[in-house]
Amino acid sequence: MTRAAVLPAVNAPLVVTDIDLPDPGPGQVRVRLAAAGVCHSDLSLATGTLRQPVPAVLGHEGAGTVVAVGDAVTGVAVGDRVVLNWAPSCGDCHFCGLAEPWLCANAGAAAVAPYARLASDGTELYPGLGTAAFAQETVVPATAVLPLPEGVPLAEAALLGCAVLTGYGAVHHAAAVRPGESVAVFGVGGVGLSVLQSARIAGAGAIVAVDVSPAKEELARAAGATDFVLASGDTAKHIRKLTGGYGADVAIECVGRADTIRTAWSATRRGGRTTVVGIGGKDDQVAFSALEIFYFGRTLSGCVYGNSDPAKDLPVLAEHVRAGRLDLSAMVTDRIGLDGIPGAFDAMRAGRGGRALVVF
C-alpha cells in the first residue's frame, strides 16, 4: 500500500488516499519516488484538455529509486537512482524507424491500462501518462525509467524528466538555436525557465522573456534572460525594438494558447523560426493570412517532448548540471506535499511561480 493523489474524474478535486500497488510483473519496475514536478500537462489531464482514463494517479515528471524489478528486466536493478520517462519509445513503429522517438506511436500504451487499485474499495486506477508520479511509489515499464548519472541531486532530478528535457530540446533540437541568435521565450513557468537556461547554454545573444506576471522577471533574469517584457497588446512591438527592429531570430512559445502563438509568430523576424512547445486545446484556433506566410518566410513548428531522445539527452543534461551551467534548484519555486498539488494547479492557472516540486 502507498499514498497517492487520485483524480476520481475529469475536473474533480484530487483525493489523497491509499492505493494498492501490485508487485512488478515481467518487464516492470517499482520505483520509490523522491520527488515529482507539477507540470501544466498534469493540469491539462485533470481538466480533460488531454485525454486520460480515470480514475487516475497523475504526475509524470519524477525521480526516485528502484525498489523491485520483475522478470526479464535488464539495464536497471534494485537500488538504482532513476528518472521517469513518460514517453518511452518502442523502437519498432514507423516514427522510431525514422529516428523520431519523441513521436513514437506506442509511447502512451501504459497510460490506458489499469496499474493499481484504491485500497478502500478495489477500484481500478490508471497511471497518468503511464507513470503515476503523484504517489510515494509507482510501478512502470522498465523502458519508462532512465538511469540517473552521478552528481545530480535526486529530488531536483525529477525536473529532468519533463520540463528540462522539453526546454533543452526545444532550444537545441527543435529550434536549433545558434550562438549569437536572439531568442524570445513566451511563458516563464517550469518549461520556460528551462528554455531560458538552455538558450543561455546555447550562446544566444538577446534572450527576451515574456510573461503576464511582473513577478516572473527576477526568475527569468536569473535563468538567463537579458530582457523581460510584460505581456500586452504591444508585446511583438517591444520584442522588435529589443532586436534591432527585426524581431527575434527564434521565438519559443511555452504557454499553449492561440493568442500567444500568434504573438510569438508576429515577434519573429522575417526568415526566423517560431517553435510551439505549449499544449493548447483542440478548439483554440490560430489564424494566418496566406500572404503573410509567403511574405515573412518564417518557419512555424511544433515540438513534442523537446524532440528529444531521453536516453541520449539525459547524460548531456547531467553534465550541464555538474558543470554548473544548468541550475535545477533555481527552477523550483515551491516544495510541497501531495496535498499541495491543488494549490500548485491554482498557481499555474493564475500564472504564478515556476515549478512546484512534490517532495516525498
Question: Which tens digit of pLDDT belongs to each residue from 190-199?
Answer: 999 999 999 9
**Residues of CATH 3.90.180.10 domain(s) within the chain?**
2-161+327-359
Residue of higher predicted confidence among 1 and 67: 67
Q: Work out the pLDDT band at 128, boundaries 50, 70, 90.
A: very high
Q: Work out the pLDDT band at 281, boundaries 50, 70, 90.
A: confident
3-state class of 17 per DSSP? strand
In the predicted structure, residue 275 carries a pLDDT above the cut 90:
yes
CATH 3.40.50.720 assigned to 167-304: yes
**Alpha-carbon Rg of the chain, whole angstroms?**
20
Q: Work out the pLDDT band at 354, boundaries 50, 70, 90.
A: confident
Q: Work out the pLDDT band at 292, boundaries 50, 70, 90.
A: very high
Cell 515549478 locates to 355
Cell numbers at 71, concatenated: 522478470
| Other C-beta atoms lying within 10 Å of the C-beta of residue 290 | 7
In the predicted structure, residue 353 carries a pLDDT above the cut 80:
no
- 311 CA to centre of own chain: 16
Q: What is the pLDDT of residue 263?
A: 98
Describe the strand order of the beta sheet including 299-302 as a list of residue ranges.
227-230, 207-211, 183-186, 248-253, 268-276, 299-302
Q: Are residues 169 and 313 in contact, defined by beta-carbon separation less than 8 angstroms?
A: yes
3-state class of 29 per DSSP? strand
Over the stretch 9-29, which tens digit does the pLDDT of each residue have? Answer: 999 999 999 999 999 999 999
| Section 36-49 average pLDDT | 93
How many angstroms separate the Cα of 334 from the Cα of each of 183, 206, 300, 347, 348?
Answer: 27, 29, 34, 10, 12
103-121: burial string, b at 16+ Cβ within 10 Å, e else: bbeebeebbeeebbebbee
**Residues of CATH 3.40.50.720 domain(s) within the chain?**
167-304
Q: What is the pLDDT of residue 351?
A: 81
In the predicted structure, residue 349 carries a pLDDT above the cut 90:
no
Superfamily name with CATH number, domain 2-161+327-359: Medium-chain alcohol dehydrogenases, catalytic domain (3.90.180.10)
| Section 245-271 average pLDDT | 97
